Amino acid sequence: MIKIIGAKGNIKDIDVFLKKIEDFANKNNLVIQSFNADMIYGKDHIISAVEHATRAIERKTNTTNSLEKEILLYAAGERQLKLAIPKMGIKEGDGNIALVLVNNSNNYIPEKINTDLLKLLNLKKDDYVLIGTKDTLEKFGITYDEIRTVTKEKYGHIILERVALVDIIK
């Protein structure tokens, strides 16, 4: 089961923030990855990254030692964490945050889990931050020429192609 949460908030200390996520994930038997939501182009972007990362681990073609990191690589469309983290990672200060929760046992993730996580991290739920724009594509490194080759309705497909390309560039 995959749950995706868009949120807004202030991150004072990234290490403390990530430790809270790690502890919460362990306590609830979940895999949780956080992203700078300004780099996310819709929920399909994250779902595709999770599916590709899971498949890579199942096939033993993963390049990292955890599902969380593998998800980050795919979401960023990058092969190396040193490129993926600055591109997709959360930043200190006020910002838009995307969280993906993955339950390996395919069980339903109760809404209370979302609420408890947001409360723990002092974030306000706002799924609007997950909606991608042309600006998102440009920040992602997609060129003007690439963007103009498709209609606005197909912008998300460009991101999904970048996610899928990670399998090839590995």
State what percent of residues in the chain have pLDDT above 70: 99
pLDDT at 165: 86
pLDDT at 167: 80
Q: Is 2-169 in CATH node 3.30.2380.10? A: yes
Per-chain mean pLDDT for the chain: 93
What average pLDDT score do residues 115-140 get? 95
* Buried/exposed 15-47: b ≥16 CB within 10 Å, e otherwise: eebbeebeebbeeeebbbbbbbbbbbbbbbbbe
pLDDT tens per residue across span 87-127: 999 999 999 999 999 997 767 788 999 999 999 999 999 99
Residue 63 clears pLDDT 80, i.e. is over it: yes
Query: Contact 119/24 with Cβ under 8 angstroms?
Result: no
Q: Which is more confident, 1 or 125?
A: 125
Query: Contact 80/7 with Cβ under 8 angstroms?
Result: no
What gap in Å lies between CA 133 and CA 92, rounded to an integer?
A: 23
Q: pTM higher than 0.85 for the full model? A: yes
CA 57 to chain centre: 17
pLDDT at 170: 62
Q: Which DSSP string corresponds to 44-88?
A: HHHHHHHHHHHHHHHTT--SSSSHHHHHHHHHHT-S-HHHHHHHH
